[in-house]
C-alpha cells in the first residue's frame, strides 16, 4: 500500500501500481524497422557538423557581398594588400574580372592582391566556429589557385573603360607559399606546410598535408592561413581542409558523430529532410543531381535554414552514411511543394518532378545498365543500395491548396509502376489532418505523423496509439520530440520522450517506424564574425568543433534501440498514479476548465523470442520514488538476477552539455530477487529498463 495523495481536494489512498506481463497470449511482432534516424541540414548538421570540411565558405558563395569567414592576414602595417570576392556572374565588375570561373559550379573566387608585402600576407579562414586542433592529427589541405600581375583590362568595342585604371603589380606569385593551422592571433603555429606555386594564369589544384605534434593541446581557437611574401594577384577557389574521417573515406564523415549514431543501432535514416527537402522556393528544393561527383562540380544551394549548403553532403554521401551506421535509406523525394506555399499542379507540369524522383531512385537502386545506376557505379559504388521506403514530399498539410492528393497519386503510380517493391509514404496523416488526407487512388499504406510537444503533452498522449485502428494505414512517426531545453533537450524532455516511446513500442505492430528530429545541433553561440550555429532548440546530439555529447534523450533512445525484443508482451496495469497537468491556452479555447489528469508511470515490454530475454521499460516522471509491483504470468521460470539500466537526475531541468557531457548517462546494475511476482521502486525522474531472462 502506498501513501496518501490529494487530487481536487479529495484525499485518496494511493495503491501501489501493478503491471502484469502476460505471456499466455501470443504477442504481436515488433516492427523490425521501429527505430531510425531523421536528418537534414539544420543547426549546421552537415557543414560545421557531420560533414567534416573545416573551411567555411570554401567556394565563396555563402554571401555574394563579402567573403564571409575569410579575412586578410597582414603582419606589417606598411604592407599594401587586400582581398576581394570576384563573382563571374556579377554585374558591374570590369570585364576581365568576369573571367575567373573554373566551371559552372565554381563561379566565384577570392582574389588576394599583394601590392607591397612587407612581411607575410595571406588569407585566413575562421572555420565553423574555429578550426579544431588535435594532437598527432593529419589534415589534407587543398585549393585551386592561379596567379597574375598587373593587367590592363581588355575591353570590347564600345565598352566604357573601368573606373579603376590598370593595377601595376609585378607577378611574383610563382614560388613557395605557406599553408598553416595557427592560433587566431597568429602567434602559435600548430601545423604548417609549403607548396611551390607554378607561374600560371590558369587554375591549378594544389595539395599538402599538415600534421600536428603529439603534444599539442586540443583547441578550436585556431584558423587556417595561406600566406605569401611576394607581390601579385592570387586567385583562390575550392579551399579545403579535411581532418581524418570515419574509416578514412575521402569526403567522409566525422568519426565521433558516426559512432554516436551507430551506437543507437538505427534501422533507417530518413533524408534529406524535412524542410531541407522542400527549400524556401520551388527552385531551392534539394538538388540531388548537383550534389553528385567531384566537389568541383557542386555549386551548393540555398538551404532552408538561413545558410547556404555546400552539398559536400550529397546524395551518395547520405547513402554511404547509411552504410557507416548499418541503416537502410528512407528517401524523401521532392514532390512539388515548397515552403513559401507554392506548388506544382498534378499533371503534365508535375511530370518532370516525378521523372526526377525516378532518376534519383534509379541512382540508388538501378543496375549498371541504367543511366543513373551507371553514374552510381562511376561514382565508386557498384552495388545498388537497399531501398524499401520512399516518402513523397514533406509535411504537405501546409499546402493549403489541397493539391497533395493529386501529387501523391502521380508520384506513387509512377514509382510503383517502375519499382513495385517500393512503399510510398504519404506525408499527410489521417489522424492529424483528416480534411487534407489522400482520398483518391489507392489508400496510402503508410502515413507520416509529426509531433513536437512539451513533456506534459507527451505524457498525456503517450497512449494515443493504443486506440489506433489496426485496419488503417501503418504509421511512420517521421518527426517527433519533446521540446524542453536548448540547444539539446533536458531530463524532463527525456522523460517525455521515454513515455512516448513506450506508447510506440507497445503498438509497434502498427507504428512501424519512427525517428526523432532534429538529430544534430552545433551548439556554438554567436561570435563577432559568425552567427549562432543553431536555428532549432531542443535537439538530440550536440557538438562544437572539438567534441560532441548526447542529451539525456539520446541515452534513452540508445537504450530503447538496443534493448528491444521482437515480440510485444501484452501488459495490463492497475493503479497507475496520475497528476493534474497545467491548463493551457488551448484548454481555455476548448472550454476545458479542470486540469486533466495524466499518468506519472509509463511502461512497455518486449521479448526476444529466441533468447528468452524480456525488456521491461518503466518511466517515473515525478519527484517521488515510485514502488511498482511486477507480475509475470505464463513463464515457467525466470532468473532471479536481472540487469537494469537507469537514466535519472535530481530535477527535470538537469541536462548534459558541451562542458558537462555526461551528467546524465545510463547506469547499469544487477538486481536480485526477480520472480514471478516482485517489486521494484523506481527512482524519481527516471527511466529504467530491466532485462529479465526467462529460462526455457
For ligand AHR, the closer of residues 41 and 360 by Cβ is: 41
**Whole-angstrom distance, CA of residue 463 vs CA of residue 467:** 8
Does 40 participate in binding ligand AHR (rule CB under 6 A)?
A: yes
Contact at 8 Å (CB) between 613 and 647? no
Contact at 8 Å (CB) between 501 and 618? no
Closest listed residue to residue 289, CA positions, set 105, 87, 157, 88: 105
Q: Which stretch binds ligand AHR (CB under 6 A): 163-171, 268-276, 468-476, 545-553?
A: 268-276
Sign of the four-CA dihedral 280, 285, 286, 289 = negative
Residues 387 to 446: which contact ligand AHR by CB under 6 A? 394-395
CB of 32 to ligand AHR, least distance (A): 25
Q: Which helix (H) or strand (E) holds 677?
A: strand 677-682
CB of 449 to ligand AHR, least distance (A): 12
Nearest residue to ligand AHR, scored by beta-carbon proximity: 274
For ligand AHR, the closer of residues 395 and 405 by Cβ is: 395
Residues 465 to 494: which contact ligand AHR by CB under 6 A? 479
User: Residue for cell digits 601579385?
Assistant: 232
Q: Which helix (H) or strand (E) holds 355?
A: helix 351-365
CB of 408 to ligand AHR, least distance (A): 17
Residue 165: Cβ within 10 Å count: 9
User: What one-character DSSP code corresponds to residue 454?
Assistant: -
End-to-end CA distance of the chain: 33
For ligand AHR, the closer of residues 48 and 565 by Cβ is: 48
Contact partners, residue 312, CB within 8 Å, separation at least 6: 46, 47, 51, 53, 251, 295, 298
Residues 534 to 563: which contact ligand AHR by CB under 6 A? 536
Does 53 participate in binding ligand AHR (rule CB under 6 A)?
A: no
Closest listed residue to residue 228, CA positions, set 190, 171, 185: 171
Sole binder of ligand AHR in the list 137, 178, 253, 275 (CB under 6 A): 275
Closest listed residue to residue 657, CA positions, set 547, 506, 510, 514: 547
Indicate the SS3 state at residue 371. helix
For the beta sheet containing 571-574, the strands, ordered from the edge strand earlier in sequence to the opposite edge, are: 571-574, 18-22, 626-633, 677-682
Does 274 participate in binding ligand AHR (rule CB under 6 A)?
A: yes
Query: Which grid cell sits at 683?
Result: 527512482
Print the binding letters for residues 582-621 with ligand AHR: x by CB under 6 A, - otherwise.
Answer: ----------------------------------------
Does 121 participate in binding ligand AHR (rule CB under 6 A)?
A: no
Contact at 8 Å (CB) between 192 and 179? yes
Q: Which stretch binds ligand AHR (CB under 6 A): 126-134, 188-196, 270-278, 667-675?
A: 270-278
CB of 479 to ligand AHR, least distance (A): 5
CB of 273 to ligand AHR, least distance (A): 5
* Number of chain positions touching ligand AHR (CB under 6 A): 11
For ligand AHR, the closer of residues 69 and 540 by Cβ is: 540
Indicate the SS3 state at residue 228. strand
Rg (CA), the chain: 29
Does 373 participate in binding ligand AHR (rule CB under 6 A)?
A: no
For ligand AHR, the closer of residues 394 and 544 by Cβ is: 394
Sole binder of ligand AHR in the list 27, 52, 132, 273 (CB under 6 A): 273
For ligand AHR, the closer of residues 40 and 324 by Cβ is: 40
Q: Which stretch binds ligand AHR (CB under 6 A): 271-279, 313-321, 375-383, 568-576?
A: 271-279
Sole binder of ligand AHR in the list 300, 312, 518, 570 (CB under 6 A): 518
Q: Which helix (H) or strand (E) holds 352?
A: helix 351-365
Site residues for ligand AHR per CB under 6 A? 40, 42, 273-275, 394-395, 479, 517-518, 536
Amino acid at each position: 500500500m502506498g501513501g496518501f495523495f490529494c487530487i481536487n481536494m479529495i484525499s485518496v489512498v494511493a495503491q501501489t501500481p501493478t503491471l502484469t506481463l502476460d505471456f499466455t497470449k501470443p504477442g504481436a511482432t515488433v516492427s523490425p524497422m521501429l527505430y531510425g534516424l531523421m536528418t537534414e541540414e539544420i543547426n549546421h548538421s552537415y557543414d560545421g557538423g557531420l560533414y567534416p570540411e573545416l573551411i567555411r565558405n570554401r567556394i565563396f558563395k555563402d554571401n555574394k557581398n563579402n567573403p564571409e569567414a575569410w579575412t586578410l592576414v597582414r603582419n606589417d602595417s606598411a604592407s599594401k594588400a587586400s582581398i576581394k570576392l570576384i563573382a563571374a556572374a556579377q554585374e558591374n565588375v570590369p570585364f576581365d574580372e568576369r573571367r575567373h570561373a573554373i566551371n559552372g559550379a565554381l563561379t566565384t573566387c577570392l582574389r588576394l592582391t599583394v601590392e607591397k608585402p612587407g612581411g607575410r600576407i595571406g588569407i585566413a579562414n575562421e572555420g565553423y566556429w574555429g578550426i579544431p586542433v588535435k594532437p598527432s592529427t593529419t589534415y589534407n589541405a587543398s585549393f585551386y589557385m592561379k596567379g597574375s600581375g598587373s593587367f590592363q583590362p581588355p575591353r570590347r568595342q564600345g565598352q566604357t573603360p573601368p573606373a579603376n585604371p590598370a593595377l601595376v603589380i609585378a607577378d611574383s606569385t610563382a614560388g613557395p607559399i605557406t599553408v598553416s593551422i595557427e592560433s587566431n592571433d597568429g602567434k602559435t603555429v600548430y601545423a604548417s606546410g609549403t607548396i611551390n606555386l607554378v607561374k600560371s594564369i590558369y587554375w591549378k589544384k594544389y595539395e599538402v598535408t599538415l600534421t600536428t605534434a603529439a603534444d599539442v593541446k586540443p583547441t578550436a581557437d585556431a584558423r587556417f592561413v595561406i600566406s605569401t611574401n611576394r607581390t601579385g594577384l592570387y586567385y583562390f577557389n575550392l579551399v579545403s581542409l579535411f581532418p581524418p574521417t570515419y574509416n578514412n573515406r575521402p569526403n567522409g564523415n566525422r568519426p565521433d558523430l558516426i559512432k554516436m549514431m551507430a551506437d543507437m543501432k538505427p534501422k533507417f535514416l530518413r533524408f534529406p529532410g524535412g524542410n531541407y527537402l522542400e527549400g524556401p522556393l520551388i527552385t531551392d528544393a534539394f538538388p540531388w543531381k548537383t550534389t553528385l561527383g567531384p566537389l568541383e562540380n557542386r555549386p551548393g544551394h540555398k538551404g532552408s535554414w538561413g545558410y547556404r549548403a555546400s552539398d559536400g553532403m550529397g546524395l551518395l554521401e547520405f547513402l554511404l552514411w547509411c552504410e557507416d551506421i548499418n541503416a537502410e535509406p528512407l528517401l524523401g523525394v521532392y514532390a512539388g511543394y515548397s515552403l513559401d506555399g507554392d506548388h506544382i499542379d498534378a499533371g503534365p507540369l508535375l511530370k518532370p518532378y516525378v521523372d526526377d524522383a525516378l532518376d534519383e531512385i534509379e541512382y540508388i537502386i538501378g543496375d549498371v545498365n541504367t543511366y543513373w545506376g551507371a553514374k552510381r557505379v562511376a561514382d565508386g559504388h557498384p552495388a545498388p543500395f537497399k531501398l524499401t521506403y520512399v516518402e513523397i514530399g514533406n509535411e504537405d498539410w501546409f499546402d493549403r491548396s489541397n493539391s497533395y492528393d493529386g501529387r501523391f497519386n502521380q508520384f506513387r503510380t509512377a514509382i510503383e509502376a517502375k519499382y513495385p517493391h517500393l512503399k510510398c509514404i504519404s506525408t499527410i496523416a489521417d489522424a492529424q489532418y483528416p480534411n487534407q488526407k489522400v482520398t483518391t487512388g489507392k489508400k496510402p499504406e503508410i502515413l507520416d505523423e509529426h509531433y513536437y510537444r512539451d513533456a506534459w503533452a507527451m505524457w498525456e498522449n503517450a497512449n494515443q496509439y493504443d486506440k489506433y485502428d489496426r485496419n488503417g494505414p501503418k504509421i511512420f512517426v517521421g518527426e517527433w520530440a519533446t521540446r524542453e531545453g536548448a540547444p539539446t533537450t533536458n531530463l524532463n524532455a527525456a522523460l517525455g520522450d521515454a513515455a512516448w516511446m513506450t506508447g510506440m513500442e507497445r503498438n509497434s505492430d502498427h507504428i512501424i517506424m519512427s525517428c526523432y528530429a532534429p538529430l544534430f545541433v552545433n551548439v556554438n553561440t554567436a561570435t563577432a564574425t559568425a552567427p549562432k550555429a543553431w536555428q532549432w532548440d531542443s535537439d538530440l546530439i550536440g557538438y562544437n568543433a572539438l567534441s560532441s555529447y548526447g542529451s539525456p534523450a539520446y541515452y534513452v533512445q540508445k537504450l530503447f534501440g538496443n534493448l528491444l525484443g521482437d515480440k510485444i508482451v501484452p501488459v495490463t496495469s492497475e493503479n497507475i498514479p496520475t497528476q493534474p497537468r497545467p491548463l493551457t491556452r488551448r484548454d481555455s479555447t476548448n472550454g476545458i476548465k479542470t486540469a486533466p489528469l495524466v499518468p506519472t508511470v509509463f511502461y512497455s515490454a518486449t521479448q526476444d523470442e529466441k533468447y528468452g530475454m524480456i525488456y521491461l521499460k518503466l518511466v517515473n516522471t515525478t519527484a517521488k520514488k515510485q514502488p511498482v509491483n511486477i507480475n509475470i504470468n505464463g513463464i515457467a521460470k525466470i532468473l532471479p538476477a536481472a540487469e537494469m539500466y537507469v537514466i535519472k537526475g535530481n530535477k527535470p531541468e538537469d541536462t548534459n552539455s558541451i562542458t558537462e557531457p555526461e551528467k546524465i548517462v545510463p547506469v547499469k546494475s544487477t538486481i536480485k530477487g526477480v520472480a514471478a511476482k516482485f517489486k521494484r521502486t523506481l527512482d524519481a525522474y527516471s527511466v529504467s529498463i530491466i532485462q529479465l531472462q526467462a529460462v526455457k
